[in-house]
Amino acid sequence: MDLYGAGCCNNSNERSSKKLHVLMFPWLARGHLSTYAQLANRLADRGINVSFLTTPLNVPKMEPLFIMANRNSPGKVQVVELPLPAVEGFPPGIECTADTPAHLWPLLLRAVHLLEEPFESLLRRLAPDVVVFDLVQYWTPRVATKLGIPTVFFLIFGAAYSSYQLSPPNAEYGEEITAEDLMVPPPGYPSSTISWRPFEAQFTFKIFHTRDDTDGMRGIDRLVKCIDGCEAIAIKSCYEFEGKFIEYFQQVTGKPVIPVGPLLQSNAGPLDSECLKWLGRQAASSVVYACFGTECFLSNEEIREVALGLEASGHPFILVLRFAGHRDSSTSLPEAFEGRIRDRGLVLTDWAPQKEILSHPSTGAFLTHCGWSSLTEGMSVGLPLIALPMQWDQGLNARLIVNELKVGVEVARRGDGAASREDICRAVRAVMAPEDGEEGKDVRQRASQMGDMFRRTILNGESKGSEERYIDKFVQHLLALATDKGGHGCH
């Protein structure tokens, strides 16, 4: 079976792609912005010019990510401003979800909804060949179609989650849907071991019932409009570990679903950071790295349970915590905690060089919230994963890596979703002390095999690994869309 279509881009395609102009329009969340940036750089490597659309305050954060591409690639990435319209009650200076308090989210969505007309004016001026857009800006295909420009809906989530959540049997539910309905995989879904837990279904339930004051739409309505309006769906995944879910997603949506590979972070952090120096003093494979992403802020109770669970495990650890707004981190950790763990633990409350920590020989496991990017980063270096999913897609991602891929263990939870220090400690010990049980031994072995597969098959730079071929195939799709759309052609 040819996983990538009819081979790689040949020289003719590579030459013609130099004239292609793609506009990329990510959602205002750090994980979305960074993933779209990774894809933009890979397109620039193939001679494609990219207009990267974001709001003014995000421009200085994004431009450094494109310095190398603009210096060395045949294509260029230009960051283009699209200012957020003023909305009453929404303070200036907030243009990223991580900086948006929960009570202001509806106002952020309203501001983005009001971007439709300014976006159309900008699109007329830039006249790209193809628009690659994100999940909140559901009106993008409507505007682009008016101007004869094809669109690609790029999902930064995995196929197991996307095909479960967005399959027609779920997406077509009216407001009579219940949380219990969401706990049952949709018809034909290729796994019986992946489903929502009750507390996760209650969280997911909101997108089927909560209507926005601005447009009266539910979250699921916006997602369906994204799928219905686009010409193709791109997804951050690989056939190597999600093949049957990619095929199912294509089957149920009726749209081409194009994997673009894992898009692992290519920008390295500073190698002289204090945490890497600390890590270098630890024994091989002895340290648990615990991090919960850029958009997940643990409550004080959750922080205490995670911290005490790591302490009780007896293993060295790095714990990365992020706090929304001006919350005081000193009141969140258990009393005298940092003093007790000073010799074998490190707590970071700002930035951490995750790529370097995960690949360091002293790191032995990854306690993660199961954000898709974090999971693929952990799998790529062969680390066993300790799953503590928090929100959005993370519950289904956890079931994928534990029940299907078997490269991790999941922390047990109470009925309300709370995780205790005892259960966290138990999960850590399961993978860090595999001699105590067969499950941990099998998980470590499978995780190591997954890392080998990434190195040999997906990331192999010497023989052009499959990730490069996925991007080549995506470029072919972009060229075909630009050429076939009513003779629109490339600029």
- Both 372 and 450 in one domain: the answer is yes
pLDDT (mean) for 394-404: 97
Q: Which residue has better confidence, 210 or 75?
A: 75
pLDDT (mean) for 80-85: 96
- Both 322 and 450 in one domain: the answer is yes
Minimum mean pLDDT range among 117-131, 224-238, 348-362, 424-438: 424-438
* CATH classification at residue 479: 3.40.50.2000
Domain span holding position 260 = 11-264+463-484
Is residue 162 in a domain?
A: yes
Instruction: Give the residue carrying structure tokens 């900086």.
Output: 99
Is residue 4 in a domain?
A: no
Is 326 considered catalytic here? no
pLDDT score recorded for residue 12: 39
Give the number of other CB atoms < 10 A from CB of residue 487: 7
Q: Which residues pair with 387 in a beta bridge?
A: 368, 410
Q: How high does pLDDT run on average in the chain?
A: 88
What is the C-alpha separation between 356 and 52, in angstroms, rounded?
27
- Both 349 and 475 in one domain: the answer is no
Q: Which residues contact 299 (CB under 8 A, 6 or more apart)?
A: none
CA distances from 465 to 130, 247, 450, 453, 458 (A): 26, 21, 15, 10, 5
Q: Are 129 and 108 in contact (CB under 8 A)?
A: no
pLDDT score recorded for residue 358: 96
Q: Which residues contact 466 (CB under 8 A, 6 or more apart)?
A: 3, 4, 238, 239, 240, 261, 457, 458
Is residue 19 in a domain?
A: yes
Q: Are 254 and 279 in contact (CB under 8 A)?
A: no
pLDDT (mean) for 349-358: 89
Q: Which of 32, 113, 315, 369 is catalytic?
A: 32
Long-range CB contacts for residues 437-441, cutoff 8 Å, separation at least 24: 439/409, 440/384, 440/409
Q: Are 426 and 412 in contact (CB under 8 A)?
A: yes
Is residue 490 in a domain?
A: no
Whether residue 60 is predicted with pLDDT greater than 70 in this model: the reply is yes
Angle between helices 239-253 and 438-453 (to 10 degrees): 80
Is residue 5 in a domain?
A: no
Whether residue 11 is predicted with pLDDT greater than 80 in this model: the reply is no
Whether residue 343 is predicted with pLDDT greater than 90 in this model: the reply is no
Give the pLDDT confidence of 117-176 residue by residue, as tens digits: 999 999 999 999 999 999 999 999 999 999 999 999 999 999 999 999 887 666 566 667
Q: Which residue has better confidence, 491 or 26?
A: 26
Q: Which residue has better confidence, 330 or 83?
A: 83
What's the pLDDT band for 274 if we cut at 50, 70, 90?
A: confident
Q: Are 308 and 336 in contact (CB under 8 A)?
A: no
Whether residue 13 is predicted with pLDDT greater than 60 in this model: the reply is no
Residues in the chain: 491
Whether residue 196 is predicted with pLDDT greater than 90 in this model: the reply is yes
With residues binned 3-state (H G I as helix, E B as strand, rest as coil), the percentages for the chain, rounded to 5, are: 50, 10, 40
What's the pLDDT band for 5 if we cut at 50, 70, 90?
A: very low
pLDDT score recorded for residue 16: 45
Highest mean pLDDT among 15-24, 184-193, 216-225, 320-329: 184-193
Give the pLDDT confidence of 423-441 residue by residue, as tens digits: 999 999 999 986 666 778 8
- Both 361 and 235 in one domain: the answer is no
Is residue 153 in a domain?
A: yes
pLDDT score recorded for residue 351: 78
Q: How many structural domains are present in the chain?
A: 2
- Both 91 and 131 in one domain: the answer is yes
Q: Are 397 and 158 in contact (CB under 8 A)?
A: yes
User: What's the predicted TM-score (pTM) here?
Assistant: 0.91
pLDDT score recorded for residue 1: 33
What is the C-alpha separation between 290 and 131, in angstroms, rounded?
37
Q: Which residues contact 47 (CB under 8 A, 6 or more apart)?
A: 14, 15, 17, 18, 20, 73, 74, 75
Whether residue 305 is predicted with pLDDT greater than 90 in this model: the reply is yes
Is residue 6 in a domain?
A: no
- Tell me the three state secondary structure of residue 486: coil
- Both 299 and 166 in one domain: the answer is no
- Both 399 and 476 in one domain: the answer is no
- Both 286 and 364 in one domain: the answer is yes
- Both 237 and 282 in one domain: the answer is no
Is 103 considered catalytic here? no
Is residue 491 in a domain?
A: no
- Both 225 and 303 in one domain: the answer is no
Percent of the chain whose predicted confidence (pLDDT) is above 70: 88
What is the C-alpha separation between 260 and 46, in angstroms, rounded?
14
pLDDT score recorded for residue 310: 96
Helices (H), ranges, 281-362: 300-313, 337-340, 354-359
- Both 192 and 257 in one domain: the answer is yes
Q: Taking the CA of residue 466 as centre, how many other CA atoms within 13 Å lie in the half-sphere pointing to its CB?
A: 19
Q: Which of 134, 393, 423, 472 is catalytic?
A: 134
What's the pLDDT band for 296 if we cut at 50, 70, 90?
A: confident
pLDDT score recorded for residue 168: 64
Minimum mean pLDDT range among 38-47, 113-122, 164-173, 307-316: 164-173
Whether residue 17 is predicted with pLDDT greater than 60 in this model: the reply is no
Instruction: Give the H/E segment covering residue 21.
Output: strand 21-25
- Both 61 and 101 in one domain: the answer is yes
